Structure 1
Amino acid sequence: MQITVSNSILSAVIDTKGAELKQLLKGNQNYIWEIDTQYWDKTSPVLFPIVGRLKEDKYTINNKEYSLLRHGFARNFNFEMVNHSENQVVFRLSENEETLKVYPFQFELEMKYILIENTLTIQYSVKNNSETSMPFSIGAHPAFALDTNLEAYALVFDQEDSLIRHKLKNDYFSGDTSEILLQDHQLHLSDELFEKDAIVLKSFQSKEMTLLKNQVPYLSFQLEGFPHLGIWKKANAPFLCIEPWQGFADHCDDSGEIFQKEGIIVLPPNEVFTTSFSITIL
């Protein structure tokens, strides 16, 4: 089922499956990529309880092994709609028989979409209802529609002069890094940047980024609640993913013990973790 929220400037359409953003419209223009399965079958999945891929898709807790596929399971389940008004909606996912097989924790994941003027804010709330501490990561994966060549676009970081890219090899971090020099804080986009998978920034200083189209501001992102970032484009696909993360994929030498995983959040019993990011249409 698809739910719409709107105000006088924007409207957003969210599917209850995965609480996934399907459209973000200003007038007749949809800024979110519309699915073409030859490239990808998602538009903006939530990544929970992991971000990226685990080594051999497995992890251990107290020497017991579990299997969990890339980016976790939240995107595959129907969320309950718990609140809906004209300009906001809240969805909730809790543990079930299937999740407990691969992730032995009781949780509540809430996603709240709020439209205020020309900005969509997406808030995440994770509650640990288990009797033990709960390890998790969470992230966003929105795909923005491109209506011209990628070279027409650039990302402006409000603080950085250069970026440290952590390289992936067969979906895992190799330990290798490279520096990407920016021009006037701008990362000029090209397909060549994505020939060896996503650009992954484990750390960066900017709290706001702007996507330019032909050097004209197009979208901006407020990333106060997310310390890591992925930028990804599939070859020849007319979209660009800009992905705020709390957590990331395994290193090729990781032990598999999830409580030792780099970037993992460990939430005590009955505690709540919250974070958010915003998209502004310019």
Structure 2
Amino acid sequence: MSFPGPAASPFVPSVEARPAEVLVHAPLNAEYRHLVLRAGAVAAGARPGQFFQLLCPAPPGEAPFLRRPMSLYGADPAAGTVEFLYKVTGAGTRGLATLAVGDAIDVMGPLGQGFVLHPAWRHVVAVGRGAGLATLAPIARAARAAGIGVTAVLSARRPELVVSEDLFRAEGARVVTVTDQDGTSGPAHVERLLRGLVAEGVADAFLTCGSARLLRVQQRLGREFGIPGQVALEQQMACGLGMCFCCVRDFNEGGEIVHKRVCWDGPVFDMLEAVA
């Protein structure tokens, strides 16, 4: 049995920009910082896989021109909060790193198409690497609320850079970590792990983000075993609203290459249509 990917009809985003208050801003590990904002009910209603456009403050001597897209790491509708993980890599994130608790930041979102958990699924496999581990994190809570089990395969260069592991475990997921340092993160080893999960009958779908190599493994297994999947794509964006067309990528729809905007048509797409 197969299921469609994320909803084909576009979700019309709330494009109102609004101020948010910094509640938590602290290093999570040697690379990633954890940012928690009080942003209101609309923002906190974001779904797994959606993203926000953040207007980063200007760091000394620099002037970021565009908002920075940031995938959702967590949302609490009751508290009106949203969470992000980010790595300082350029002018925008250098500006973001200057924020202190109590500061205000302008946010726009939630934007884009998120992951869809189909009711017939009983157990899914989430496969992520690097920043993709943050994007996949909200799936843990959403799947538990839907009565869907999760096995999370989390990949990073070193064990201390694996993020979201505690979050997945807290929501009852089974977690497998693989790293470059211990030689377990290569596609061949991950494929063996995934084949084992398919054999156990706990892979009704693959949900993935963060690695083209691991995406290709899941696409191959998806075609071999008839397993559907969804992928959140990472892409540079300018407007985040589908107007500038700077995030267009190729997709394979039934053998025909078509062009889609990652920010508007995604960032979550049918796994088998993505051109990795």
The answer to whether TM tops 0.5 is no
If each structure's strand is expressed as a fraction of its own residues, which one has the higher value?
A: 1
If each structure's helix is expressed as a fraction of its own residues, which one has the higher value?
A: 2
TM, length-normalised to structure 2: 0.30
TM, length-normalised to structure 1: 0.29
